Chain A
Amino acid sequence: MSLNKEAELLRDIPLFRNISPAKLKLLAFTSERLWHDDEQFLFKEGDDGDAAYIILSGTAVVSIESNSGSQEVARLKKGGVVGEISILCDVPRTATVQAQDSLTTLRITKDTFFHLITEFPEISIEIMRELAFRLDETNKQLREALNRK
């Protein structure tokens, strides 16, 4: 997959959907493309987070630790993003992610991401918009959950 394809893929991700193609290409170029062995951990719950991973192909299995052991909560495919919270703020990883089906990802480090934002502040506005949108969604869900009670 070449740089152009990676940039196109980034465009399909909600967090980046309003960012111009040229900037996405720069983001792709300054990020690493990695492939993972099956079963290899991308990160584990509780680790310090320093990068987000965008899935280019294969599957990422997300699981969380519970009293009854590790429990799978999601499977993400092409275009999925894991670990994006930790490039925005310093929180430990909230879940464990493992590779499957020859996973390849684009690894965006916190530094890269912040450089991009510092250089092109318009990106941060887009991201703020997206985050606000998510917050609104969460609020809605919370309200529904409370109403149900």
Chain B
Amino acid sequence: MEKTLFKFIWRYSKRDQIILLVMTALSFPFLYFSLDLPKIIINKAISGKNIPSEIFGVPIDQIEYLLVLSLAFLLLVCINGGFKFYVNVFRGQLGERMLRRLRFDLLARVLRFPLPQFRRVSQGEVIQMVTAEVEPLGGFVGDSVALPAFQGGTLITILIFMFVQDWMLGLAAIALYPIQGYIIPKLQWHVNQLGKARVQNVRRLSEKIGESVSGIEELHANDGARRVLATFTERLGTIYDIRYEIFQRKFFIKFVNNFIAQLTPFFFYSIGGYLVIKGDLTFGALVAILAAYKDLSAPWKELLTYYQRLADSKIKYDQVIEQFDPPGILPENAQFAELEADFSLAGTISANNLSVLDDEGQPVIESLSFQSEKSEQVAIVGPSSGGKDLAAILLARLLIPDGGQIKVADKMTLELPQAATGRRMAYVGPSAFVFNSSLKENILLGAMHQPMEVGAEEDLSSEEKKRNFRNAELSGNSLDDLEANWLDYKAIGSDSDSGLREKLLDLLKIVDLDDDTYALGLRGTINPLENKELAENILSARKALQERLKQPEISEAVELFDKEKFNNNASVAENLLFGTPVGDNFVIEKIAENEYVRETLRLVELENEFVRVGRDVASTMVELFADLPSDHEYFSQYSFIAGDDLPDFQILLGRAERLGLDSMEQEDRDRFLALPFMLIPARHRLGLITDEIKARILKARQEFASNIPDSLRGSIEFYSEEKYNGSASLQDNILFGKIASDKADSSEQVGNLISEVIESENIRPIVVEVGLGFQVGLAGSKLSAAQRQKVSLARALIRSPDVLILNEATSALDSGSQSKVIKNIMEATKGKNLLWVLQRVGLADVFDRVLVMSGGRVIETGSFKELESQPDSTLNNLLRDE
């Protein structure tokens, strides 16, 4: 990274800066003429002296002369404006481009930081630096050369003009500049110092914000909010003080500047006036000088502001760069170097004399040496502080040792590019991280290292793509096409999508995630237009299920959707809509607000009825829940009314008692009206939805479907026996009804039935595939810790690495699943090197060899049996402690 801001600017924008300079220089003659012209207009054209009798051979009179000059002035205004516009746009683009480059450089560096650096720089700080702090630098880069050149040039042009008019006045105009030049930097120095402090304090604030967000669980669990708020207050206070002082000082500088700028006209009026009276200076010249001086103050001000911005930008650049150049940063070529096609790391692993020091310089790994033969499966065990986890991290080259060497297949891994360690090796740690995308993408990430079709001509066919590519190139950004196919089919060991599918299904079984994925698939949705075959399959599964449901012992476990019948296991809203809401218009929480729904209710004379039922629901809820605290979990589980709203409803009920439902305000009636929609008669058993009401809801269902306006047509997907419903889950599509909530064990029975149908229709793999499309949420928050670990394992396994290093990678799994997964993975990696740091010694018995680590070195090695047979071996001690 360039050490100073100007080196950075010069290196990457030399050409553009020169173009800007040239453009600026070209604009000066026009500027000069536009200053000179008013004088000629006043002194010659208006006062009528020395009018040339002809221009370019064409004879003219005074008025015509004035017109010609005025038009020339107008033309100059246009030309000057044109120059300004061009230069501004060019400058803006340059600034954006350089900002983009700088941000990219910084981000690329973050990806090359040695891992220990992340103990020193927090996420909050990095974000603050890359997004906020460098932002003003972009604007400055565009101005860095051209602005001082332009404004300085303007200033000099104007000054030359003034000196040509009268050297004394010119001198007067700049008489105070030396004083400003002396005072301002002195004042500015303090502001700079404060600017530095401000940057640091804002970073500390971002760090604290990031920390509070990450640790929010602990804060709530320990009632730590007040203390955190006090910390925020303290940091915000410091920032406030600094900013306030900066403002004071900045405005003081402004005040000094303004004062001095106002002093100069004093000289013009006195000295200039004197000269005009004496006849040494023409009146026109004085007017022109005064006009020029007015123009002079603008560039001068700009220059002073530039000076302040320059100081500010330099500080920001230095402070950011400092953070992004940590010792031990990975060289750029280590991240981008490519491998030969047949590169392999299959072979002996040997670690020699590895040592790692902690931040205090104490050794945590000391002369660690061990060997692992080709295709050996080794377990590493030991007490948790014994350094076994560090050994795994070292082997995976995520940490560079302070001493020693690691050789894999006779290659020094420390010297290999990341392409070698990140493709032919794989590492999974205990804190499996899952990215916010689908399950599938998370797994495939393990085999997506570079775009596989590099720069194919047709890829760049679209204009937009070409433009994006060109801009990325000009900003020194990555030229890899995100939309290209990144999947390394060769590493996966298949060359087709169907091979990939099988591989994924296989992997899910190995890491014991296939049942979970299947369940996710059942809950998932598909677009029937894009997956016609699957939709067909699901529909035939629906038919098969309905066939099975004809058996008497199971028939009542499901209440199928029937256009002509009220479904007691569905909510009143569902019964009315008889379809799945798409978007917000008809969601159950807001359905009562929908005007069309209301219209339909009125049509079948249900509106008043619903208000009445709603009142009864409310009164039952108040009766049942009134004694509970408002945050009791029963409210979310059972109540139709949120705990906080209960007092409102108590008041409403009182009002209904007093006034009668019909005389209540519409707003109050609406609150009652919203309640019945949520009733599920079979579950809630309030006895409020009578047969009479059901019949009318059925009528409303018909009216709703037949009169629905076009604008709302897209807001609902109606249930249809023959059609796949793209808005409902696979399971709901197969079921096409509701599980009877009042039938004992019905969900279990139906669940089994669905599995049976899916098996018999052979669509389980497809359901699993739909499950693979499940979006896992921020940092995989929608998955359990065990599921996240399984995803990470699958990610490492997908590219069949030569060396697999697992560091307590199954710690979140329950013990049954854990031994199953260990067995599966050992089976799957047979013939490859496997090093597995185990949490529990007892799990190590299936491995070829066991390394026992303690105190940062290997203290025992041998087969599990050998070590177990020595009564006083550490392994036995560890086993006894478990």
Contact = CB atoms under 8 A, between A and B. Distances in A.
Contacts of B104: none
B660 interface: no
Nearest to A25: B624
A40 B624 contact: no
17 contacts: A2-B685, A3-B620, A3-B685, A3-B687, A22-B627, A26-B625, A30-B634, A30-B637, A30-B638, A33-B685, A34-B742, A34-B744, A35-B742, A40-B744, A119-B627, A119-B632, A120-B627
Interface size class of A (residues with CB under 8 A): 20 to 34
B743 interface: yes
A115 B623 contact: no
Interface in B599-639: 620, 623-625, 627-628, 632-634, 637-638
B741 interface: yes
B628 to A, nearest CB: 6
B634 A32 contact: no
A32 B683 CA distance: 7
A32 B620 CA distance: 17
Nearest to B638: A30
Given A22-B623, A35-B742, A107-B744, 16 more contacts: A2-B685, A2-B687, A3-B687, A22-B624, A25-B623, A25-B624, A29-B638, A30-B634, A34-B743, A35-B744, A36-B743, A37-B553, A37-B744, A42-B744, A119-B627, A119-B628
A29 B637 CA distance: 11
A124 B321 CA distance: 67
Nearest to B746: A34
Could you say which of A6, A30, A120 has the most chain B C-beta atoms within 10 Å of its C-beta? Answer: A30
A74 to B, nearest CB: 20
Contacts of A119: 627-628, 632
Interface in A67-109: 99, 105, 107
Nearest 9 CB-CB pairs, A to B? A2-B687, A34-B744, A36-B744, A26-B624, A30-B638, A3-B685, A29-B624, A33-B742, A34-B742
Interface string A12-39: 0000000000100110011011111100
A146 interface: no
B686 interface: yes
A105 B623 CA distance: 24
B676 to A, nearest CB: 16
A35 B623 CA distance: 27
A41 B687 CA distance: 28
B359 interface: no
| Interface size band for B | 20 to 34
A1 B685 contact: yes
Nearest to A29: B624
Contact of B634 (A34, A36, A40, A115): A115
Contacts of A37: 553, 744
Contacts of B743: 34-36
Contacts of B625: 26
A48 B503 CA distance: 39
A125 B741 CA distance: 33
Nearest to A105: B744
Contacts, number: 49
Nearest to B687: A2
B687 A32 contact: no
B745 interface: yes
Contacts of A33: 685, 742
A98 B540 CA distance: 36
A7 B655 CA distance: 28
Contacts of A3: 620, 685-687
Contacts of B687: 2-3
B242 to A, nearest CB: 52
Contacts of B624: 22, 25-26, 29
Nearest to B745: A40
Contacts of B623: 22, 25
B17 to A, nearest CB: 72
Contacts of B627: 22, 119-120
Contacts of A35: 742-744
A120 B627 CA distance: 9
Interface in B671-710: 683-687
Contacts of B634: 30, 115
A32 B628 contact: no
A116 to B, nearest CB: 9
Contacts of A2: 685-687
A115 B638 CA distance: 13
Contacts of A29: 624, 638, 684
A55 B629 CA distance: 31
Contacts of B632: 119
A105 B743 CA distance: 10
Contacts of B553: 37
Interface in B630-651: 632-634, 637-638
Nearest to A115: B634
A15 to B, nearest CB: 20
A105 to B, nearest CB: 8
A2 B741 CA distance: 16
B504 to A, nearest CB: 36
A103 to B, nearest CB: 9
Contacts of A22: 623-624, 627
A32 B741 contact: yes
Contacts of A26: 624-625
A119 B627 CA distance: 9
A53 to B, nearest CB: 9
Contacts of B637: 30
